[in-house]
Each structure stands twice: as structure tokens, then as C-alpha cells.
Amino acid sequence: MTTAAENEILTRVGPGTPMGEFMRQFWIPALKSDEVKADGDPVRLKLLCEKLVAFRDSSGKVGIMDHRCPHRCASLFFGRNEEGGIRCVYHGWKFDTEGNCLEMANVPPHQDFKHKVHAKAYKTVERNGLIWVFMGDQANVPPLPDLEANLCPAEQMDINFQMRECNWLQAVEGEIDTSHLGFLHYGQATPDTASRDINAYSMINRAPEYVAQDTDYGLIYGAHRPGRKADELYWRMAHFMFPCWTMPPLDTLQANVSARGYVPLDDENTMLVFLFKNDIRPEEDARERAERAGGWDFNYLPNTTDWLGRWRLRENKANDYLLERDLQRNFNYTGIRGIILQDQAITESMGEIVDRTFEHLAPSDMAVARTRRMLLRAVQEYQDTGKLPALAANPKLARGVRGGAFFAPKATDWQEAYKGELAQAPLEQRIAHPQAAE
């Protein structure tokens, strides 16, 4: 049972809110590298309810700062990005990517005080196609987490951003709830190719049981149901990682190098940052099932320069995701085409911020309930003592955290089974990238 007061703590992320301050102690994925070009257009960027502007300077360095010029608060979105910094078009004040004022063009030299003025800039790091920002204390910036899906070279990875029109936590909770696969996505699919497709076991038995365990990066949990033979279990393992990451079981554990971050733009809009190794593809035999689910394709609207104008989907709540009732009756469980859209539709349909006092959680929601408790505890502890989960200061704890499906003997402890499976996974993705913190 989540109370209204707890729901407020969990969902509000603006400056000064308990969850907002907690989240600011972690690195946050902000943009794809190709969204900002050297001396290109400044990008409006909303993160944790703050209005920011992002740009790449002449030398390729990325700056992310409050969109207001520290002079008279004109928006730097209208600024000129040129010659190593962004210049406010109002009075010509110019700032580098770290927020230093380089020039105070409308003030005579003897009155100049540019060394005393700083734009409110945040530290940024770029790694394998992803731009990260740290919005916490700029004097104490931790290393980037060793997130496997962001340690692989950019050419091996797909990075997709998608905006979702609801609070970040209900999006996260959609990922730590694996049993919906057999309904929302595969409710009208049959397990007829079970011998070839590991996902088919989610259709043979759609009502799994769960185990979960707190970790120093967040939570690991697994859904289990009967496997190929009597003494075997079929596991779907998944994780929640602070502050807003999930590793859902999209494929076998050995193949599934992926992560999804649900980054709050504000309390009612979220950017899904989806990193996945681009050789994850459905097997031939699973094609029909993939088609019933609607596949992984989706369509974007053209990006705009609006605060909420990036990576919106063409099928969205304004058009009911182009729901087709005939398709729903005869072929696909939702009548909505595409796995991403189905998740999008169902989590947005709960309202912009779901009223959790209306819910009735089931045993299948074990990871959802435990993640909420863990977040509430972690936020409270940070408020009381300033202490953060170990991951915040130790990037190595993010290593070896994969979701995925596998079989294991019933007799084997589930966490041992997970470690055993992970030990057999190709390890090259877990070799530290030169840019990774060591």
C-alpha cells in the first residue's frame, strides 16, 4: 500500500523535492551525441523540471546550463553558438561550456566584472554516443557508472530516445513487472515455436512466481515458471538500478546487453533512454509472434525546439495510439501496433501521475512494491544523513547487471544461477572502455 504522501515523495523531482535532490546525486543521460553539433543550434532541454539549454562549442565540448542568461535572464536558446561559447543575443554576454563568462560585450572595460559572473552550468561527459549531465553539487562530481550498455562502442549500440507523457516512476514500474509480457504484448500469441524461442515459455505459463533481492545498485528480481523439463525452471531476470535505470529481459541473458533509463523531464513527462546492442533480433521462427506483438518499430514526429518537443512518437495519447479495435479482436491483444507503443499507451493511460492509493498490488508486483520501498528508504536516508546508495560513488557496481532469460536446475539457488549464466556471457562488453572510470 502506497499512501498519497509517499506517492508525492516518489513522483516529484523538481529542485528542492526529496526525490529530486536524490536524483541529482547521480549522472543523468541528457541527449544523444548527434543532437548537438559544433557551433550548431542550441537545444532546449528539460530535466528534473529545470529548463536548460544544451550546445556543443567550436571544439566539440558540450555545455548544459540553465537556459537563462545570468545577466537579465533572457533565454540562451536565442543565443549565438560561436567561437567557443554561447553568446546571449540581448547584450552580447558570452559563456563557455563550463559557464564562465568570457565576455561582457556591453560593459566598458573599466567596469567589466565577467570574472564574478557564472552561468549555472552543469558538468557533462560524453561516452559512446550518449551525453550525460550531473546536476548535483558541482564541486563533488562522481565518476560515470560503468553501465555495460554504454561501455560498448557506439557502432555496436542503438540509442533510442522516446518521450513518454507520464511520470517517470510509472514508466519504470512497467519494466519491473515482467508478467505483462504474456498479456499486453503477447496476449494473442501462442507458444507454438517454444523449442526455438526462449520467450515462448512466457506464453506456456502466463502466471509466474517471483523472487527479489536488494543490492548495492538497486534491486535484482526474477520471475520463474516451469522450464523444458521437470527439474528445470525458466527464469526471466531483471533489475532496477539507481536512480532511474532498468534492465528488462528482452532476450536471453547471454545476448541481452541493454538498459532503459526513464529520465524525468518534469513530473509529467519522461524521456526513455533505450540503449541496446544492435544484434538483438528476433529469431526467424519467432517472426509471427513478433508480428502479433507488433514488433519493435515505432515512428517519430519531427523534433521541434519546444521544451517537450524532442523524440515524440507519431502514435500518441492525442490519437489513442491509432488503436484499431478490429485488430484487437482478431490478432493483437491491444489493437496497438508495436511493443514500445503498447507500453507507452498503458502507462500513460494511468494518468499523468498515477494515484497509487487506487491500486491493488498482486504478488506479481513484488519488484514494483520493493523498488518503491527501497526508493523511499534511500531518499529518506539521504535527507537524514546525506548517505547515498553505494553505486553513487562506486561506478564499478553497475557492472555485470543484465536482464535476460535462461534455464536453470530447480535445485540451484537463483542468484547463483544468475551469476553462473552471467559468467558464460560474452565478456567483451564488460571490458572497461578507455573513458570508463576505473
Partner 1 sequence: MTTAAENEILVRTGPGTPMGELFREYWIPAAMSSELKADGDPMRLMLLSEKLIAFRDTNGKVGIMDHRCPHRCASLFFGRNEEGGIRCVYHGWKFDAEGNCVDMANVPPHQDFKHKVHAKAYPTRERNGLIWVYMGKRKEPPPLPEIDMNLVPAERCDIRFTQRECNYLQGVEGELDTSHVGIMHFGLQAPTDFQTRANNTRYAVSNRTPEYKIEETDYGHIYAAYRPGEPGTTYWRFGQFLFPFWTMPPINDMATNVLARAYIPMDDTHTMIVALVQKGAYGARDGQTNADNIPGASQNYPYLPNTTDWYGRWRLKLNKRNDYEIDREMQKTRSYTGIEGVQMQDQAIQESMGEILERGHEHLAPSDIMINKVRRQLIKAAQSHAKDGTVPVSVDRPDLYKNVRGGQMLAPNDVDWLEAYRRELDSHPWQSVGLKAAAE
Binding site for partner 1 (CB under 8 A): 173, 177, 179-180, 182-184, 187, 206-209, 320, 323, 325, 328-329, 333-336, 342, 345-347, 349-351, 354-356, 358-365, 368
In DSSP notation, 306-364 reads STT-SS-BSS-GGGGGG--HHHHHHT-SSS--SHHHHHHHHHHTT-SS--GGG----GG
Provide, rounded to whole angstroms, the least separation between the CB of residue 61 and partner 1. Answer: 43
Closer Cβ to partner 1, 87 or 356, answer by number:
356
Q: How far apart are CA 404 and CA 255, in angstroms?
A: 8
| b (16+ CB within 10 A) / e for 20-35 | bbbbbbbbbbbbbbeb
Provide, rounded to whole angstroms, the least separation between the CB of residue 358 and partner 1. Answer: 6
Strands of the 86-87 sheet, one edge to the other: 80-81, 86-87, 93-95, 101-104
Provide, rounded to whole angstroms, the least separation between the CB of residue 346 and partner 1. Answer: 5
Whose CA is closest to 400, among 215, 134, 243? 215
Closer Cβ to partner 1, 84 or 295, answer by number:
295
Closer Cβ to partner 1, 216 or 320, answer by number:
320
In DSSP notation, 216-237 reads SSEEEEEEEEE-SSTTEEEEEE
Closer Cβ to partner 1, 143 or 226, answer by number:
226
3-state secondary structure of 112: coil
3-state secondary structure of 378: helix
Provide, rounded to whole angstroms, the least separation between the CB of residue 364 and partner 1. Answer: 5
Provide, rounded to whole angstroms, the least separation between the CB of residue 410 and partner 1. Answer: 16
Closer Cβ to partner 1, 232 or 359, answer by number:
359
Closer Cβ to partner 1, 230 or 423, answer by number:
230
Closer Cβ to partner 1, 81 or 246, answer by number:
246
Closer Cβ to partner 1, 150 or 342, answer by number:
342
Closer Cβ to partner 1, 190 or 304, answer by number:
190
Provide, rounded to whole angstroms, the least separation between the CB of residue 356 and partner 1. Answer: 8
Q: How far apart are CA 26 and CA 171, in angstroms?
A: 19
**Which helix (H) or strand (E) is 299 found in, with range?**
none
Provide, rounded to whole angstroms, the least separation between the CB of residue 228 and partner 1. Answer: 19
Cell of 199: 520467450
Provide, rounded to whole angstroms, the least separation between the CB of residue 188 and partner 1. Answer: 9
Closer Cβ to partner 1, 34 or 320, answer by number:
320
Provide, rounded to whole angstroms, the least separation between the CB of residue 175 and partner 1. Answer: 13
Provide, rounded to whole angstroms, the least separation between the CB of residue 217 and partner 1. Answer: 25
| b (16+ CB within 10 A) / e for 150-182 | bbbeeeebbbbbbbbbbbbbbbbbbbbbbbbbb
Q: How many other β-carbons are positioned within 10 Å of the β-carbon of residue 334? A: 23
Q: How many other β-carbons are positioned within 10 Å of the β-carbon of residue 369? A: 18
Whose CA is closest to 352, among 5, 11, 44, 4? 11
Closer Cβ to partner 1, 210 or 274, answer by number:
210
Q: How far apart are CA 252 and CA 89, in angstroms?
A: 53
HSE at residue 380, side-chain half, CA atoms within 13 A, is 7
3-state secondary structure of 59: coil
Q: How far apart are CA 241 and CA 389, in angstroms?
A: 10
Provide, rounded to whole angstroms, the least separation between the CB of residue 172 and partner 1. Answer: 13
